[in-house]
Amino acid sequence: MRLTVQYMDEEPTEAEPKLDRECGTCYACCVWLDITELHKKGGRPCKFLKHQKPTERCSIYKKRPVACSGYHCMWLTGCFGSDMRPDISGLLATMYNDPENDGKYLVTINITNGVKAGSMNDGPLGTMLHWLLTKLEHCISRINLVNRRTGAVIEFSDGVIWQADLIKGTKLEELTFLRSKVIGHYKSADPRDIVPGMMSKDTVVLR
């Protein structure tokens, strides 16, 4: 089964959300996301990362595209703990409106560093998945784990964990992959009654 999700095709909102966090030295989004206006593919550092100051790397910051200025990863908007910042956890999580499920969202988690991220049952990745499946179960339709280095994708959808492979899409800012096989199952839990060992044991680790 071939699945295609187009992400950044929405008009930016006039008012940006109030953020209590700052990017600091993290610039994961400048490496791992597609940016159409810059003809940039995800997984490649942006060509405008020229400045050497750790907290000010972008050389076109004041004139950067809307896709950049309007982007906020889930950590920046207040989700997860402070130790889950992308450069620390090895995970860049983004929430998008799901065009196929009105009122629901899909989450893409880019695995930027497999060693830091850990597995789906422990480490930052296990913590993130547990949080998503317990806190946001009623508003999230799918979760996609993506490793652009290996082309591996793991999709959480309707209680089933699928192994899939990235394939070339028709344009940037579009995630396209082919499901290959079922590798496990999962269940959501009431946040007031978190179930230990929520993931099934027949899962794999994205490295």
What pLDDT is attached to residue 168? 79
What pLDDT is attached to residue 63? 94
What pLDDT is attached to residue 98? 86
Side-chain-side CA neighbours of 181 within 13 Å: the count stands at: 4
What pLDDT is attached to residue 188? 64
What pLDDT is attached to residue 198? 37
Q: What is the pTM of this model?
A: 0.81
What pLDDT is attached to residue 190? 45
What pLDDT is attached to residue 91? 98
Cα–Cα distance for residue pair 83/187, rounded to 1 Å: 26
What pLDDT is attached to residue 171? 72
What pLDDT is attached to residue 16? 47
pLDDT tens, the chain, 207 aa long: 444 444 444 443 333 455 689 999 999 999 999 999 999 999 999 999 988 788 889 999 999 999 999 999 999 999 999 999 999 999 999 999 888 888 889 999 999 999 999 998 889 999 999 889 887 768 888 999 999 999 999 999 888 999 999 987 767 777 889 999 999 888 765 444 333 333 433 333 333
Whether 45 contacts 32, CB under 8 Å? no
